[in-house]
Amino acid sequence: MQQWEHIEHQLLVHYSILKIDLPGHGSSHESKTPFTAADFIEALNFILKQEHIDRLTILGHSMGGYLGAAFAKANPKKIISLIMLNSIAGKDPKEKRLLRDRAIQLIQKHKEAYVSMAVNNLFTKVELEEFKERIHKMKMKAQTISIESIVHSLLYMRDRESSLQELKNLDIRVIYIFSLQDDIIEPALIKTECDYLNIQGKTIDCGHMSLLTNPANILEKMYFIE
């Protein structure tokens, strides 16, 4: 959740915020079996009921966007807006699924090396130098996540279903904010989804971890939230 602190304080001026740790991340319990979108949808519906929240705007970064799109697909009447930050609603391309398989093999043999490489890939070369201390802390935190939890996340991302067609048919506001230098999710892929949904994506000039490196620009692109 720490990466959200760079925009959270600004949003709290006008909005109530509900932050959710994804399965196996942060303070959430580790699952002994791979989680699915259905598990997340059930958990979020439970939380919304407990908090007496009928409708909400979802802001999901990366895997959070995958799950946010799945929730919107399953519960469209509960969604005011869906913001996809460095994320897509479609499934992984074949090449990406193969990379997930390789990552699963690597992490079980060389976790420390995998985590260091995976975190570095979230940033541009310039950002790696500019945010060196914060990135080091991020790596240290990531090393505390169990191999099992990381594998479960990789399996979910590899096998998830597309929500793109359903989003096109839903009467909800959808916006994509994506980074022009993102090496994790190619900008061209996000542009293709925007074209399919007939919407204008919002671009920012940074790497994948935009929440850390370019929070002010993200906030500028979110002016429309109701």
CA distance 54 to 6: 27
CA distance 204 to 70: 24
- Sequence-separated (6 or more) residues with CB below 8 Å from residue 226: 57, 80, 81
- How high is the pLDDT of residue 78? 97
What are the pLDDT digits (tens) for 23-35? 666 666 666 778 8
**pLDDT of 226 above 60:** no
Tokens encoding 156: 């979910």
Each domain of the chain, given as residue ranges in start order, spans 2-221
- How high is the pLDDT of residue 203? 96
Cα 76 to Cα 60, 68, 213: the distances in Å are: 16, 11, 31
pTM: 0.92
Q: Select from 197, 164, 192, 196 the least CA-distant residue to 178.
A: 192
- How high is the pLDDT of residue 29? 67
Cα 134 to Cα 50, 116, 120, 209: the distances in Å are: 34, 13, 12, 12
**pLDDT of 1 above 60:** no
CA distance 216 to 226: 19
Contact between 80 and 226 (Cβ < 8 Å):
yes
What are the pLDDT digits (tens) for 149-205? 899 999 999 999 999 999 999 999 999 999 999 999 999 999 999 999 999 999 999
- How high is the pLDDT of residue 10? 84
Fold observed for domain 2-221: Rossmann fold (3.40.50)
- How high is the pLDDT of residue 19? 86
CA distance 161 to 98: 16
CA distance 4 to 108: 29
Please provide the average confidence, as pLDDT, over all residues in the chain: 91
Contact between 209 and 122 (Cβ < 8 Å):
yes
**pLDDT of 57 above 80:** yes
- How high is the pLDDT of residue 33? 75
Q: What does the DSSP 8-state code read for residue 206?
A: S
Higher pLDDT, 181 or 11: 181
HSE-CB at 217 with a 13 A cutoff on CA atoms is 17
- How high is the pLDDT of residue 5? 81
- How high is the pLDDT of residue 13? 84
- How high is the pLDDT of residue 12? 85
Average pLDDT of the residues in 6-30? 77
Average pLDDT of the residues in 61-84? 96
What are the pLDDT digits (tens) for 82-123? 999 999 999 999 999 999 999 999 999 999 999 999 999 999
